[in-house]
Homo-oligomer: A and B are copies of this chain.
Amino acid sequence: MDTDSTRNTPLPKLLIASGEASFDLFYRTRFLTPDPVIYVETPTTRSLLLSDLEVDRGKKQATVDEVVPTRTFEERLKANGKRANLPAIAALFLKDRHFDRVLVPFDLASGYSRALESEGIEIVVSDGELYPQRALKNPEEIRWIRETQIGVEESLEIALELLRKAEIREGLIWVDGEYLTSERVKSVLKQEMLKRNLLGRHTIVAGGEQACDPHMEGTGPLPAHLPIVFDIFPSHEETRYYSDMTRTFFKGAVSPELKRNYQAVLDAQNKAIDLAGPGVDSKLLHEAVVAHFSSMGYSTGIRPDGRMEGFFHGTGHGVGLEIHEAPRVGRAGELLAPGHIITVEPGLYYPGVGGIRIEDMLAITDTGAQNLTTFPKTLKSAIID
């Protein structure tokens, strides 16, 4: 813990950010503002400084010890001919409380750091997470994440009806008198999620070649017989907690090569899932995936045309207030601990053949891991006649 060497107490933490932009600020205040606010935390007191516009709502909603109106600080600064901007207000507040050195998050705006320094406040930038405990979810947070995931699974079930009732025409998927597009499936998914208070901004429904690019969200008519990757990772509008799941589906008959690839991804994923538990280095999960693909003869690398093929991303990541947060599950691992929520999402991507990814979300427990994803993922369930 960073401490003030002269007094040997932990340094006060300072955030200047909006609850929208700063997950740390939301984590400590559960208070959302569009514009930045000042938050100061000592071992005994958590203080939120708010403008007149926010102060009433802050007193009602923010999980802090005190809401301090910025108005008097603004008036004092102006009386001294100074600009009453956020770093000046923060510096004045800190000096009133006899702090001249603070710990700030890695992502505090450089402009604020410089301005605070010019006001005589010494800035210690946190090397890692300001609140590493954010990675370890309490039961309430786990419930919020599960609620998000339940809404995802309900919504996916409804969206798949489109694939189920469709027929195949000229290698494409035909339903309701038109070719089924990524856009339409995403629209249904997002509508269903919104009914459940879930915002799925970058929901992926990508078929064929598009699925070979893991971040392509998908556009245009969806192919029959080829993999269609559904990667669904909304956050809940109220709790703001994410969930993350990927499934790959096929409409119609599937080639032996694609069936083999699908099964390889599923087997690799299950091997990694079986390893997950407290005290385990998460890189072992990634290594298990890489080893499985290697043993099956799947190669990874850059093709002559410059495109990537094989398995070229990490195996997973933590999920919480951010869609990607600690712990990492990749070449560089971390020791897993109870409360960690991680994804396990191997994939195989071969341009000309198709991209496949399967992703579950696990909660690390005291004794092992609980799979929070209940949506079927067998090869049989992936093929929709």
Interface residues of A (CB under 8 A from B): 21, 32-35, 52-57, 104-114, 123, 125-127, 187, 190-191, 194-195, 199, 201-202, 213-216, 237, 302, 306-308, 312-313, 323-324
Contact = CB atoms under 8 A, between A and B. Distances in A.
Given A34-B324, A199-B199, A56 B308 contact: yes
Contacts of A56: 213, 306-308
Contacts of A125: 110-111, 114
A53 B178 CA distance: 33
13 contacts: A34-B202, A34-B215, A34-B324, A52-B308, A53-B312, A109-B109, A110-B112, A110-B113, A110-B125, A111-B126, A191-B191, A191-B194, A191-B195
A65 B360 CA distance: 38
Contacts of A216: 57
A320 B32 CA distance: 20
A34 B323 contact: yes
Contacts of A55: 308
A53 B110 contact: no
Contact of A312 (B21, B52, B107): B52
B35 A313 contact: no
Residue in A104, A215, A237, A308 whose Cβ sees the most chain B Cβ within 10 Å: A215
Nearest to A305: B56
Given A53-B308, A110-B113, 8 more contacts: A52-B302, A55-B308, A56-B306, A56-B307, A106-B112, A107-B110, A109-B110, A111-B125
Contacts of A199: 199, 201
A104 to B, nearest CB: 6
Nearest to A54: B215
A307 B195 CA distance: 35
Given A35-B324, A114-B125, A213-B57, A190 B201 contact: no
Contact of A111 (B54, B57, B106, B201): B106
A262 B132 CA distance: 49
Contacts of A21: 21
- Name the 8 nearest CB pairs between A and B, nearest first: A106-B111, A107-B109, A110-B113, A108-B110, A110-B125, A56-B213, A53-B313, A110-B110
Contacts of A302: 52
B109 A215 contact: no
A21 B109 CA distance: 12
B108 A109 contact: yes
A350 to B, nearest CB: 13
Nearest to A313: B53
Contact of A106 (B52, B110, B126): B110
A267 to B, nearest CB: 23
Contacts of A215: 33-34, 53-54, 57
A304 to B, nearest CB: 14
